[in-house]
Every structure is written in structure tokens, then in C-alpha cells.
Amino acid sequence: MASYKAFYIKANDDEGFSRSVVQRDTSDLPNHEVLIKVQYSSLNFKDALSAHGNSAVTRAFPHQGGIDASGVVEESTNEAFKTGDKVIVTGYDLGMNTAGGLGQYIRVPAAWVLPCPRGLNPKRSMLFGTAGLTAQLCINKLQQMGVTPDKGPVLVTGATGGVGSIAVALLAHSGYEVVASSGKAEQAQMLREIGASDVIDRAEFGEANRRPMLKERFAGAVDVVGGDTLANVIKSLKAGGSAACCGLVQSAAFEATVLPFILRGVNLLGVDSVEIPLAQKQAAWKQLARAATLPAIEQLNTTISLQQVPAALETLFSGGVAGHIRVKLGR
């Protein structure tokens, strides 16, 4: 048994929730196969939702948050892992209802654990976290549907967020012309510095439009926003174009017609980074490893301490974060 620090969410008597860093003990962790000493995590919008008691993310409180973790194996009852192995855990139930990576220890099923691929260590892997994994999976889906750099520009919505900013950097590195959509005009220069060819105001796509189709503009899109934005993105795809959908910051619902699908042959691609097979995650992490030293990836990241997490999640929840936040939990 060991004592450790963790970001902890409690339900209050007044139906609100409190968030703080507390001392816990490894004996409190679930009885799974692999005990990991967490060195780094990262912050995601889902973490902010959990921290504010969103029951679609977390049902059981009190709760140790954090859907990302990287570190070293301390104990394992599964022969696939040994003490000292450098590993990554993202998705599945981590940080939802299973104690998450914003604690210095987690204990999880071996089926959730990935060895760090060559080129990544616990520190570098959390330059990406779930946000980077999701961005890479979106790009993979677009490429599988034939969206190549020569086909035309790719739109990234919510481009100053974690998924969006990493998608901008990865797409630009792969030779795409990237159009970044954002509501943060003050971040336009940052978006250009990490690879965007053009930056547009989110209002251009963010309001309902009764027209069933709009001007053909984009060969592909990575959409983290949903809602009216996604509806308008679909209407603006070129013939045969594709939109990879991975988020719902604006809304989970959107109104559309079949016309872009049957007149332009466009594709709407759902992207799941949570429950996909481990082998598919591993392949995407190997791709991310090749991008881990890109200056743009370093630039869009900010590293904070565990003690700074409660305040950072408040800022993230209110939409005040630009880029991606990595959290340092130990050496």
C-alpha cells in the first residue's frame, strides 16, 4: 500500500460538486491486474464534464478523475507487463467510473494498457493524450475515404481546443491545406504558426442555415463541435468529400437533409477513441510517435502541476483554454 495525491470530485449535500487535490491510498483502488505509477496525464473536455457532475460521463461519486494516464508499471498480475514497463492508458472507463489518471496511481485491467511505442515515453505521450489520439483517428478515417492533400482544403472546427489544435498541426505536417475555424480571434496567429493556411470565425458555420446545400469548399473536415456547425460543414463538402465527427461542444443534435449525401456523395464518419480495439489504438499511437518532436506539438501544449488542475478544469469548462494541457504528476 502507498499514499498518493489525486484530483478528487465529491458530490455535495446541496447537489453541487467540489473539486480538490487530496491524499488517497492504493488500497482504495479497484482490484484490477496492473498497478501503474502515473507520471503524466492531460486534460480533456470530458474531464471537465466529469468534474462538474455530468452523469453521462461519471455516475459514481466521490471519484478520482482523468481519462488519460502514462507512467510505469509498479505491479502486475498479468504476464504481459512487468515492473518498470513504460505504458499509456486512455479511454475505456478510465476517469469515468474507474479511478483515473489525475492521480499518482491507477489500477486497471491489462486489456486497457499499451506499451509506449518507440519514440514516445510517458512525458511525450501526454503531449497528445486522448485529444491527439482522437485527432489521429479522424485523419486516418479521412485518408481511408480518399481525402488526400491534392483533393483540396480540410476544415478543422473547434481549432483552438485540444483535438482541434493537434489536428491542425498533424494535417499541416502531412501536407494538407488546413482551414481552422475558431471563436477565439486572438488565437489566429497561434493557429497559423502551428500550420493553418487560413483562419475563419466559427460564426461562419455556427448558425442554423435553412439551405440544404452550400458552396463546395472542403475536401474533408475534422469536426469536434457538432450541432449546426456540423450540419453546415456537411453542406459545404466537395463532391465525394468526408467529415470526421468526434465531438459535441456545440450540440449532440444537428439538423440535415439527405441532399448532400445523394447529390454530392459526401460521407459522415463517426470517430470513437474510447472503446476501439487496443490494436487500433496501438497503430494510431505509433503514428503519433512519429510526430512527437514536431515544434508545433510542443508549441500548442502547456504543462501544469496536479495542484493546478482544479483551476485549469474550470477554465476548460468555460471555454477559456487554447491548445492542449499536459499534467505532470511525478518524476
Q: Average pLDDT for consecutive 10-residue bins of the chain (331 residues)?
A: 93 86 96 98 96 91 96 97 98 96 98 96 98 98 98 97 97 98 94 97 92 96 97 97 95 93 98 93 96 95 97 94 95 67
Which residue type, as a one-letter code, is found at position 67? Answer: I
Q: What pLDDT, in 10s, does the model give residues 116-131?
A: 999 999 999 999 999 9
Place of cell 484530483: 7
Each residue of 84-105: pLDDT tens digit? 999 999 999 999 999 999 999 9
pLDDT score at 129: 98
Residue 88 cell numbers, joined: 499509456
Q: How many angstroms from the chain centroid is the CA of residue 148?
A: 23
Residue-range domain boundaries for the chain = 3-127+299-328, 130-270
Instruction: Look at phi and psi of residue 156 and say left if phi exceeds 0, alpha if psi is from -120 to 50, else beta.
Output: beta
- 163 vs 128: CA distance, rounded Å: 9
Distance, in Å, from the CA atom of 7 to the CA atom of 18, rounded to the nearest integer, reads 11
65 close to 149: Cβ distance less than 8 angstroms? no
Give the N- to C-terminal CA distance of the chain in Å, as an integer.
19
The class (CATH top level) of 3-127+299-328 is: alpha beta
- Cβ pair 163, 293 in contact under 8 A: no
Out of 1.20.1280.50, 3.30.572.10, 3.40.50.720, 3.40.50.1010, select the CATH number for domain 130-270: 3.40.50.720
Given this model, what pLDDT does residue 331 score? Answer: 67
For residue 235, what is its C-alpha cell? 453542406
pLDDT at 16: 86
CA distance linking residue 110 with residue 138, whole number of Å? 26
